Amino acid sequence: MNWFQYVFAGWFVYIALLVFIGGLIWQVVKWRRVAKSRIIMGMFPKPANLGARFAKMLKDTFFFPWVLDYSKSIWLFAGAFHLAGLLMFVGHLRLIHEFTPLVSWLGANGMDQFAFLTGGAFGIVLTVALIYLLLRRFGTPYKDLSVPEDYLLLILLLLIVTMGNHLRFFGTVHVTDYRDYVMSLLAFKPAFNAAILSSNVPWSLTTHVMLACAFLIYFPFSKLVHSIGAFASNLVRSE
Amino acid sequence: MTPQANARAELLELINSKMNRTLKYYLDTCVRCAICKDACHQYVATGDVLYLPAYRAELIRRIYKKYMTGSGRLMPKLFEGRDPEDDVLLDELYKTTYACTSCRRCMFWCPFSIDTSWVLAVAKALLLATGRGSEILTQLADSAIDKGKNIDLYTGVIREVLKGSEEEMRRVVQDPNAGFVYDKKGADVLYVALAGTHTILPAAIIFHEAGEDWTLSSFEGSNYGYFLGDTVKAKEIAQRIVDEAKNLGVKEIVMSECGHAHRVMRDFYRMWAKEELPAPMVSVLSKVDGYIKDGRITVTPGKITEPVTYHDPCQIGRNFGLFEEPRNIIRATCSDFRDMTPNRQKQWCCGGGGGLVAETEFDDVRLKSGRLKADQIKATGASILVTPCENCRLQIESLNDEYNLDIEVSAVLDLVVKALVTKST
């Protein structure tokens, strides 16, 4: 690792995780510190009890069923974008620990093929959805509503995903080598092994990690807090 | 501090004083996806971004971001941060805020259930503080407060004017002793009507026939202080009825067919006054639906044979929860009831709420945005439109002319009176 890689694919990761987790906690604390509204402002019809309210809140948050009523394309792209993002995150966990049940079912080769297909597919879905969401911002009335933050986040994500696609489709490095890198991070001794250093990925891997860290750092201070705020505000809906 | 900085600090302090947890969720959570655009009748009818719900709230959010969040203070440009004393911003805010009918249809479709009208309540406070409150709404609110202070000057005149209606009531119920009941201590029901005997007479006839122990409020349920967004005035206006209910010791406050008055009494008064109502507030729709079900009054089923459709006022349906009671009454009295599409919680706003029918400066957007409702009404082929909200009725009357709907606009209780089998017969 050169110094740039050591800083931005190494120590930056720790800073990013600290800011991300601390920032989200801070955001929740900020919400909790403001007095609750004295007024009940939910809309009707309302669920009968707290259990039904939570069920409705989870359904509204994860499936946003009403959006389907209005625009199938935005429901599809937003849904595909969030789902692919989530599954992509789950896929990355393989770099911390191999999904052994899947390996024993598919075999080592089968697992690699499976990872290539799913990871590749999610990468493409994310790229397409991000381009759609970005282009949409330039049309009327979205451009009048949008603020620089909206473009910044989409471009940042698009760059992260593009780097990821490079690693996936053009990289010559095997999963075990990436796992070595993640393990080195977990051991607080960030390092790329010889296989990574001699491959064609150090620049894209470093950029991928660095931008992902920037994304995590910005996350708690941006509109991305909708990822936790959605649960709260959708619960208020049935208050 | 310079005077400008001083003014800014005061306005920011005002916004801060309106802040609560729910509002903060709304301000922090919006992703500007603009899914709300298709929910707002004003945006759909005009295509003007000014009426896009997320944009309306965004004007307040841009101040909030710049002055009340760390990231916005650090990088205001990233959020297009704005200043609360900015004239351009305030002008835009005026147009979009007082045009909003608070129907909360955008909240229904928002993936985060953001209540734009709540964010606009802050906008109204800001506009009032900068001397930009709606003039006509201010006048109407002030005259209501004035009436509360000098009620003795009013009651004599009002009761004199209502004598003709009492005559009409006696003719319908064929009881020479029937009449409006005033100032009755310990009555079961305090009936709160609106200005105008059309909101009193049908209820009085029904109460008489049901043998209800009722008394008529000296005050009207409508609250222009609420539309204005001035919570002090709004509370004072609602307080008149609350004090009256306390003095008379009534068991229930029954609200006439008026959308926002339902919510003001049940939901908002508690917040403004920090006290509970002296008696529960009940909608006259629930009351009359109950009379029919319990056999306290008799109506001729299917008495009204013309095709009838029903418009859910946003403040009575989506925002108050009465969907079936008015429909029950219609089904009990009409033989051809045709619901609109969409209906109930998805009902389009008529375009006249939020005090808009009183604010002539918004006539253009009001009539344009009513096109959606007009199309809905036409599609039913109904010749009578029933709706239990005065603002909705006034708006649909104007749509009747504007879009040649050729319909008769009726209140729900009018149907009951038409189909009523009086005890004297």
If DSSP states are collapsed to H, E and C, what string results for A99-124?
A: CHHHHHHHHHHHHHHHHHHHHHHHHH
Query: Quick one: tokens of A74?
Result: 């935005």
Beta bridge partners of B252: B189
Among the partner-chain residues A46, A67, A233, the one whose CB lies closest to the CB of B114 is: A233
Rounded Cα–Cα distance for residues B49 and A119 (Å): 39
Summarize pLDDT for B251-292 with one digit per residue, the tens. 999 999 999 999 999 999 999 999 999 999 999 999 999 999
Probe site for chain A from B21, B104, B116 (most A CB atoms < 10 A): B21
Closest listed residue to residue B13, CA positions, set B76, B67, B56, B57: B67
Is the per-residue pLDDT at A59 higher than 80? yes
A103 pLDDT band (50/70/90 cuts)?
Answer: confident
CA distance B255 to B193: 7
Rounded to whole angstroms, the Cα distance separating B255 from B223 reads 13
Query: Residue B215: which H helix or E strand, with range?
Result: strand B214-216
Of B28, B55, B118, the CB nearest to A41: B118
B186 backbone φψ class: left, alpha, beta (φ>0; ψ -120 to 50): left
CA A103 to chain centre: 25
Q: List helix spans (H) across B382-424.
A: 390-402, 412-419
> What pLDDT score was predicted for residue B425?
67
Single out the residue of B126, B141, B132 nearest to residue B11, CA to CA.
B126
Residue type, A44: F
Q: Tell me, what amino acid is at B106? A: C
Q: With an 8 Å Cβ cutoff, are B49 and A149 in contact?
A: no
Best A40, A132, A236, A239 residue to mutate vs chain B (most B CBs within 10 Å): A236
Q: What is the mean pLDDT of the segment spanning A108-119?
A: 91
The least confident of A68-72, A159-163, B63-67, B156-160 is: A68-72
Q: How far is CA B400 from CA B211, B376, B392, B404, in A?
A: 37, 12, 12, 5
Helix (H) or strand (E) holding B8: helix B3-17
Mean pLDDT calculated for residue range B46-66:
98
Show the domains of chain B with their CATH numbers.
3-132 (1.10.1060), 136-292 (3.40.50.1860), 297-419 (3.40.50)
The interface predicted TM-score of the complex, written ipTM, equals 0.95
- Least CB–CB distance from B28: residue in A37, A225, A237: A225
Q: How close does chain A come to B329, measured CA to CA in Å?
A: 19
Distance CA(A225)–CA(A230), nearest Å, equals 8
Nearest Cα of chain B lies from the Cα of A233 at a distance, in angstroms, of 6
For residue B49, list chain A residues with Cβ-Cβ distance below 8 A: 140-141, 144-145
Give me the residue from B39, B107, B268 closest to A43, CB to CB: B107
Q: Which of B20, B38, B70 sits opposite A221 (nearest CB)?
A: B70
Higher pLDDT, A77 or B98: B98
Contact A148 B104 (CB under 8 A): no
Question: Which pLDDT score is estimated for A90?
Answer: 94
Sequence-distant contacts of A78-85: CB under 8 A, at least 24 apart: A78/A129, A78/A133, A78/B33, A78/B111, A80/A125, A80/A129, A81/A125, A81/A126, A81/A129, A81/A130, A81/A133, A84/A122, A84/A125, A84/A126, A84/A129, A85/A126
| Subunit contact A36:B108, Cβ cutoff 8 A | no
| Tokens found for residue B102 | 């608070």
Whether B111 and A60 lie within 8 Å, measured CB to CB: yes
Cα(B322)–Cα(A45) distance, rounded to whole angstroms?
Answer: 9
Answer whether residue A68 shows pLDDT above 80. Answer: yes
Q: What is the pLDDT of residues B87-133, one digit of tens each?
A: 999 999 999 999 999 999 999 999 999 999 999 999 999 999 999 99
CB contact (8 A) between residue A152 and residue B270 = no
Contact B32 A223 (CB under 8 A): yes
What residues of chain A lie within 8 A of the CB of B28, using their CB? 27, 31, 223, 225-226, 229
Share of chain B above pLDDT 70, in %: 100
Q: Summarize the confidence of residues B194-210 as an average pLDDT.
A: 96
Q: How confident is the model at residue A41 (pLDDT cuts 50, 70, 90)?
A: confident
User: What does the block give as tokens for A211?
Assistant: 């931008």
- CA B91, CA B368: separation in Å to the nearest integer? 21
Chain A residues whose beta carbon lies within 8 Å of the beta carbon of residue B108? 43, 66
Residue length of chain B: 425
Partners of B270 on chain A (C-beta within 8 Å) are 38-39
Residue A48 neighbours by CB distance under 10 Å: 8
A41/B111 Cβ within 8 A: no
From chain A, pick out residues whose CB is under 8 angstroms from the CB of B344. Answer: 45
Give the residue from chain B lying closest to A40, CA to CA: B267
With CB atoms and an 8 Å threshold, state whether A41 touches B267. Answer: yes
B225 Cβ neighbours under 8 A, 6+ residues apart: B141, B144, B145, B231, B232, B233, B234, B235, B236, B237
* pLDDT at position B347 over 90: yes
Q: What is the pLDDT of residues B282-339, one digit of tens each?
A: 999 999 999 999 999 999 999 999 999 999 999 999 999 999 999 999 999 999 999 9
Model confidence pLDDT, tens digit, residues B377-422: 999 999 999 999 999 999 999 999 999 999 999 999 999 999 999 9
Which residues of chain B lie closer than 8 angstroms to A31, CB-CB?
A: 21, 24-25, 28
Q: Give the strand order in the sheet containing B384-386.
A: B308-310, B384-386, B408-410
**Cα B304 from Cα B285, distance rounded (Å):** 18
- pLDDT of B5 > 90? The answer is no
- Identity at B214, one-letter amino acid code: W
Alpha helices for chain A (secondary structure H): 3-6, 12-33, 50-63, 65-70, 72-92, 100-137, 142-145, 148-165, 175-186, 194-197, 202-218, 226-236
> CA-to-CA distance for B251 and B186, rounded, in angstroms?
7
SS3 B214: strand
Those residues whose C-beta lies under 8 Å from the C-beta of residue B222, and which sit 6 or more positions away, are B144, B194, B195, B258, B260, B261, B390
Chain position carrying tokens 């990436």: A178
Amino acid B359: pLDDT: 93
Poorest-confidence range of A107-121, A189-203, B106-120, B361-375? Answer: A107-121
Using DSSP's 3-state secondary structure scheme, residue B280 falls into coil
Distance of residue A230 Cα from the nearest chain B Cα, in angstroms: 5
Mean pLDDT of A168-180: 94
Residue A73 — very low, low, confident or very high, per pLDDT cuts 50/70/90?
confident
Residue B233: Cβ within 10 Å count = 23
Give domain A3-39+69-225's CATH number out of 3.40.605.10, 3.90.1170.40, 3.10.105.10, 1.20.950.20: 1.20.950.20
Contact B25 A237 (CB under 8 A): no
Task: Report percent pLDDT > 90 for chain A.
Answer: 87
* Residue A102: pLDDT over 90: no
DSSP B49: G
Do A223 and B47 lie within an 8 Å CB cutoff? Answer: no
What kind and span of H or E run contains B408?
Answer: strand B408-410
pLDDT confidence bin for A70, thresholds 50/70/90 = confident
* Cβ atoms of B54 and B30 closer than 8 Å: yes
Domain locations in chain A as residue ranges: 3-39+69-225
Report the pLDDT value the prediction gives residue A127, as an integer from 0 to 100: 97
CA end-to-end distance (rounded Å), chain A:
54
pLDDT at B321 (0 to 100):
96
